[in-house]
């Protein structure tokens, strides 16, 4: 079984491209089925604001290009030639390493951020519910979750960790110097919005307004953070009341348009308005950046803050990378041993069948045997078989634990004419 991974992230592709590839939650089950129809045995899709990745367990003759084509299968307006310069591809060892680094937030825009592990677990659950996760990917992902847990317990990577929502609020604080007396509108009521509201409260924002297509979730956040709910259909008319807009909605298309902001700036008598769009696909029309007194930042603009975060956490990250390397080696040995197990079982079954066949042919010549003699004969013949099997089985396991090309396994299967299980 081969492991392939293909994707784009915040380092390889701008938000303008990532948003074209992003999957809505409801699209993923169908996309997983399509990847399997293309030949993958097992599959996983991870789609977040900073990455879109497809992982597949498959036969050796599966082409990585097929997986990359799957990235485009659900999107129009983007060609394979446009996509290829931004795509990274990993196989086997490097695919395992990448998954471990993603789960441990070593590959995140903000090293140590806690959200990615939950997002990966959610992607795993969705793939499992869709029947796309089998024993191979289950073993890899389970180990990835354990590696993330080990890194958080053995290093300080999670200490004072920040998130994208925190970085968005820090950007707002940099712009204004202080958020006291500033009024903020949060568009969307998911996890990112909840995180932004929490950080805004700590930063001393004077008023937090929340709007969301689903009113119940907006009401819930407003109760938690003592904010005010603005009905979704009314928020464009109330934009002029706020100094900062933070958007993190799962809506498709632009939620905040150029015309909305133009009218709001006029009503504010040209007082500046800052918009921070941390959604992918983006919620805010990019041309708003051209409006005087409107200042727009998207998720890629947070990179400056995250670069500073990376420098301060470099030593911790290096310690975590050592753990990842150790865990990759362990998992590879385990997977290789699992690959050889069917051959060992078939080998043992074949030898047992030979033992029974020979014993059956000579059994009549031995005459009547007592129960003790029968037991002794069984023990004797089984002992001979076990002695014969011990050497080849031990060597197959030893080679599996190392980096052998599996030549001995092939030889044993040919000599004893073992069938695939």
Which residues have a catalytic role annotated? Answer: 49
Q: What share of the chain is helix, strand, coil (3-state, %, to 5)?
A: 60, 15, 25
**DSSP notation for 355-371:** HHHHHHHHHGGG----H
Instruction: Give the C-alpha separation, 121 to 143, whole Å.
Output: 12
DSSP 8-state assignment for residue 117: H
DSSP 8-state assignment for residue 47: E
Instruction: Give the C-alpha separation, 233 to 310, whole Å.
Output: 40
* Residues contacting 7, CB < 8 A, separation 6+: 46, 51, 52, 53, 54, 71, 87, 88
- Nearest Cα to 73, choosing from 41, 28, 43? 28
- Report how far apart, in Å, the C-alpha atoms of 251 and of each of 19, 24, 188, 346, 386 are: 12, 9, 9, 54, 64
- Nearest Cα to 262, choosing from 296, 233, 294? 294
Instruction: Give the C-alpha separation, 202 to 207, whole Å.
Output: 12
Side by side, which strands form the sheet with 207-211? 228-229, 207-211, 183-187, 244-247, 273-277, 294-298
């Amino acid at each position: 079984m081969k492991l392939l991974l293909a994707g784009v992230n915040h380092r390889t592709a701008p938000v303008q491209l990532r948003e074209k590839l992003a999957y809505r939650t409801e699209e993923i089950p169908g996309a997983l089925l399509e990847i399997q129809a293309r030949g993958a045995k097992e599959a996983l899709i991870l789609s977040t604001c900073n990455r879109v990745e497809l992982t597949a367990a498959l036969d050796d003759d599966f082409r990585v290009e097929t997986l990359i084509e799957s990235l485009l299968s659900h999107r129009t307006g983007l060609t394979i030639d446009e996509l290829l310069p931004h795509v990274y591809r990993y196989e086997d060892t490097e695919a395992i390493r990448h998954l471990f680094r993603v789960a441990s937030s070593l590959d995140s825009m903000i090293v140590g951020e806690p959200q990615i592990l939950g997002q990966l677990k959610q992607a795993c659950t969705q793939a499992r519910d869709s029947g796309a996760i089998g024993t191979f990917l289950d073993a890899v992902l389970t180990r990835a979750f354990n590696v993330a847990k080990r890194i958080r317990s053995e290093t300080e990577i999670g200490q004072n960790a920040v998130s994208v929502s925190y970085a968005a609020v820090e950007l707002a604080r940099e712009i204004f110097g202080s958020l006291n007396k500033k009024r903020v509108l949060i568009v969307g009521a998911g996890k990112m919005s909840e995180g932004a509201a929490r950080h805004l409260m700590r930063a001393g924002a004077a008023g937090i307004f929340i709007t969301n297509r689903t009113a119940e979730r907006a009401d819930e956040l407003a109760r938690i953070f003592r904010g005010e709910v603005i009905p979704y259909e009314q928020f464009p008319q109330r934009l002029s009341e706020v100094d900062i807009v933070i958007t993190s909605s799962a809506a498709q298309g632009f939620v905040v348009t150029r015309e909305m902001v133009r009218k709001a700036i006029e009503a504010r008598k040209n007082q500046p308005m800052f918009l921070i769009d941390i959604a992918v696909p983006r919620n805010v029309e990019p041309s708003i950046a051209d409006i005087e007194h409107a200042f727009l930042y998207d998720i890629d603009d947070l990179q400056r803050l995250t670069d500073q975060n990376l420098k301060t956490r470099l030593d911790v990250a290096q310690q975590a990378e050592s753990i990842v390397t150790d865990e990759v080696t362990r998992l590879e040995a385990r997977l290789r041993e699992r690959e050889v197990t069917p051959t060992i079982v078939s080998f043992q079954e074949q030898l047992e069948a030979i033992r029974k066949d020979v014993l059956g042919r000579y059994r009549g010549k031995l005459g009547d045997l007592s129960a003790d003699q029968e037991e002794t004969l069984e023990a004797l013949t089984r002992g001979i078989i076990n002695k014969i099997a011990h050497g080849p089985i031990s060597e197959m396991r030893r080679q599996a634990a190392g980096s052998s090309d599996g030549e001995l396994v092939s030889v044993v299967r040919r000599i004893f004419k073992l069938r695939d299980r």
